[in-house]
Amino acid sequence: MNVEINIRRNDRVVVISGKDRGKTGRVIEVHPRKRRILVEGVNVVKRHLKANSRRGVQGGILEKESPIDVSNVMVICPHCGVASRVAHQVLADGRRSRACKKCGATIESK
Ligand SMILES: [Zn+2]
């Protein structure tokens, strides 16, 4: 199954559902096969680390982002600043690109 994912690394996205609804952040990683993405500052989970003196590990709390489903976010258009659905375009030279459905601007993948 070839599922198209509209989200690319370094996109700014807004979370539209779940406990982090309304948060925005930069996409750090995209896992197309799992349809999951990692977003900076979103879905942060705390892991409690046990101190282990033999291995020199200090106890404490480690905070780390955890992946979320791509359906839980929308891309924020860098041109009009609106969270928008993304349209697919095929450029004259055959390259595929993304476009904002609100303002029509091309959204470049960085
Ligand atoms: Zn736009």
CA of 99 to the centre of ligand 1 (A): 8
**Residue range 81-102: average pLDDT?**
88
CA of 36 to the centre of ligand 1 (A): 24
Percentage of residues of the chain with pLDDT beyond 70: 95
- Residue 33 CA from chain centroid, whole number: 14
CA of 42 to the centre of ligand 1 (A): 23
Q: CATH topology for 12-107?
A: SH3 type barrels. (2.30.30)
CA of 8 to the centre of ligand 1 (A): 16
pLDDT bracket for residue 110 (50, 70, 90)? low
Find residue 97's DSSP bridge partners: 89
How is the chain split into domains, by residue range? 12-107
pLDDT of residue 48: 87
pLDDT bracket for residue 54 (50, 70, 90)? confident
pLDDT of residue 1: 42
Residues 6+ apart with CB under 8 A from 46: 61, 62, 63
